[in-house]
Structure 1
Amino acid sequence: MSYIDGFVAAVPTENKQRFVEHARAANEVFLEQGALRALECWGDDVPRGKVNDFYGAVQAREGETVVFSWIEWPDKATRDAAMGKMEELMKTDPRMNPEQNPMPFDGMRLIYGGFEPVVVLGE
């Protein structure tokens, strides 16, 4: 069964194209390291909640759009091996180097985690 890394971030809306370019470059590296697919989703219909919502989770500010992303791996071992290589790749691969491919959003407000699927329907 696959393993999923999930991410939620607040991206300045004016940085949408920069975000797409950054994500495309970084996700190419994850695919080269064994990921099955990577999806970057730009918030389109993200309601404000009464108690909690995506905006609050990432402390989104005026002029920012919430993005929801995930990387699907064949298994946790493949993901862990890829993540083990990231520090070296950040030094050697310009797509992963924060100086050459800087995040076009505040990474301190990025939330992420690894998830084991428990229900999978379709595909």
Structure 2
Amino acid sequence: MTYYSGFVLAVPADKRDDYADHAVKAWPMFKRHGALRMVECWGEDVPHGKQTDFYRATQATGDEVPVFSWIEWPDRATADAAWAAMMTEDHSDMAEMPFDGARMFWGGFAPIVDVS
């Protein structure tokens, strides 16, 4: 069954193109490990909540935009194997990230409803 790795992070507004370039550069690595699709979404209509929201969750500053993204895998086993393998590889060519990775959060998700 399809499995998803989901991510939420904050990116400085003036680093939008750098972020997109970084994501495009990362795609071949994910694809090589079995990913089917990667989607990166730039926040456009992201309201500030009363209890919590994307801004609070990422500790976004006034000049940062929330980003929501996901990677689609054929199944959880492929995702788990991919993440394990990628943790052992050298990614020094991608060491400079256009965002603060310490404020990014992620998780793995199994779909329970999928309608078209």
Please list the CA deviations of residues 34-70 of structure 1 after superposition, one character each: whole Å capped at 9, or x if unmatched: 1110000001111111111111110100100100000
Where 2:5 maps in the other structure, the secondary structure is strand
Where 2:93 maps in the other structure, the secondary structure is coil
- Asked if 1:100 is matched to 2:93, the reply is yes
1:87 deviation in Å? 2.3
Distance 2:29 2:93 in 1: 14
Distance 1:10 1:59 in 2: 8
**What code does the residue aligned with 1:52 have?**
T
Match of 2:109 in 1: 115
- Asked if 1:21 is matched to 2:21, the reply is yes
Where 1:100 maps in the other structure, the secondary structure is helix
Please list the CA deviations of residues 53-94 of structure 1 after superposition, one character each: whole Å capped at 9, or x if unmatched: 1111101001001000000100001111111211232x1xxx
Where 1:68 maps in the other structure, the secondary structure is strand
Match of 1:82 in 2: 82
**What code does the residue aligned with 2:93 have?**
Q
Where 1:8 maps in the other structure, the secondary structure is strand
- How do residues 43-82 of structure 1 correspond to structure 2 at under 5 angstroms? 43-82=43-82
Match of 2:6 in 1: 6
Distance 2:26 2:43 in 1: 20
Q: CA RMSD in A?
A: 1.0
Match of 1:35 in 2: 35
- Using the aligned pairs only, state the percent identity: 50
Q: Which runs of 5+ in 1 are unaligned?
A: 92-96
Distance 1:113 1:79 in 2: 11
